[in-house]
Amino acid sequence: MLVVQNIIANKEAYIKALTKRNFDAAAVLEEIIGLDESRRATQTKLDNTLADSNKFSKEIGLLFKNGEQQKANLLKEKTAQLKESSKQLSTALTDIQEKLTQLLYTIPNVPHDSVPNGQSDEDNEEVFREGDIPVLEEGALPHWELAKKYDIIDFELGVKITGAGFPVYKGKGARLQRALISYFLDKNTDAGYKEFQVPHLVNEASGYGTGQLPDKEGQMYHVTGDDLYLIPTAEVPVTNMFRDELLQESDLPICCTGYTPCFRREAGSYGAHVRGLNRLHQFDKVEIVRIETPENSYKALDGMVDHIKEILNDLQLPYRILRLCGGDIGFTSALTYDFEVFSTAQDRWLEISSVSNFESYQANRLKLRYKDANGKNQLAHTLNGSSLALPRVLAGILENYQTPNGIKIPEVLIPYCGFEYID
């Protein structure tokens, strides 16, 4: 959520920057500035009314003490009127603040200067590529066929139990999943990230805190009986651990990692490009989250990118990194890098990670602040990244490592799996 004072100070710059997102912010920013003026004027009236009421209350006590009951009763009438006025002003102030907050929720984050212009994912900018695309034997199979051939993932059984998009991992497929989770967590903790196990459901305040709510696209699963939401990513519960916190600058950076299943409705996702593991309603993911000072957040973002590069280099998967354009970047992000692994059998790139700096956008929603060296309260910067999302990593391993004798396990995973081949 943008800070109102910053909107007032940088209105024209924000309007221009938000055009990168194809978002016309002029009218809504003007309305926000008007509401803020009304809020401040109403607050001043309320403060003055309460001050007069307190002043008269003290005078009433003195008048009664001095036996001046008539004057005291007149002031009591004025005090009653002031109390009624303060009640009305307080209600009006709450209404204005609610309207202001709801309007702020409709405005996406201001993109970083380096975000390229563009309308869709076709306009994203490739900034890095690593690894040779393997040449597969004739008749190489996509991962959903390999899963069936080696009986390691059962998509039909998942449909029977729940529905499409909820696969069942079996035997060596399940062990490979567990190996990837353990490997990712070990890499993250070795890099200084503290591991957390967090709830898989969150309350409404947590959804608003990290920007998943209001859920305009209907992608979150809502447990209506308890008004809770199944998490779309560990980012939500992990970041919300710091909601309403005032940290010390010496506490930063805070580096967290956690494994969770993730749940996404993925409404409107159909077609061959979402077959198999390409897009699921439930999937496993290991996340990294950082809380940083504004001065260090972009250096931290670069460090997160390098960390995920190292993981993919260990797995020896061909990958590329994209800087997302204004038309494709997430609502809450200021700058996002997507990692994509090449699926040789499908002859296409598959997104496996997004690494984002939200600057103070989430922190303002979360009321996540820190006290700087001068004793002043500042909004922190929040960052997060997938390290990694498992389904498409697994798809890439199955497809790129397939041989006539079976699927070879990446060397770095063999100690975690306990086997070298799926055959």
User: Dmax of the chain from CA atoms?
Assistant: 107
Contact by Cβ (8 Å): 328, 121: yes
The response to whether 287 counts as a known ligand-binding position is yes
β-sheet with 246-248: strand ranges across: 246-248, 369-371, 377-379
Contact by Cβ (8 Å): 235, 210: yes
H/E segment holding residue 228: strand 228-230
The response to whether 84 counts as a known ligand-binding position is no
The response to whether 384 counts as a known ligand-binding position is yes
Contact by Cβ (8 Å): 158, 391: no
Burial 374-383 (b: 16+ CB within 10 A, else e): eeeebbbbbb
The response to whether 260 counts as a known ligand-binding position is no
Ramachandran bin of 269, using left for φ above 0, alpha for ψ from -120 to 50, beta for the remaining angles:
beta
Which one, of 273, 257, 294, lies nearest residue 379 by Cα? 294
The response to whether 264 counts as a known ligand-binding position is yes
The response to whether 278 counts as a known ligand-binding position is no
Residue 131 — φ and ψ, nearest 5°? Answer: 95, 145
The response to whether 369 counts as a known ligand-binding position is no
Q: Rounded CA gap, 87 and 80, in Å?
A: 11
Which one, of 211, 38, 247, lies nearest residue 109 by Cα? 211
Residue whose entry in the numeric block shows the structure tokens 């447990």: 223
Strand partners, 282: 263
Annotated binding site for L-serine: 233, 264, 287, 384
Annotated binding site: 233, 264-266, 287, 351-354, 384
Annotated binding site for ATP: 264-266, 351-354
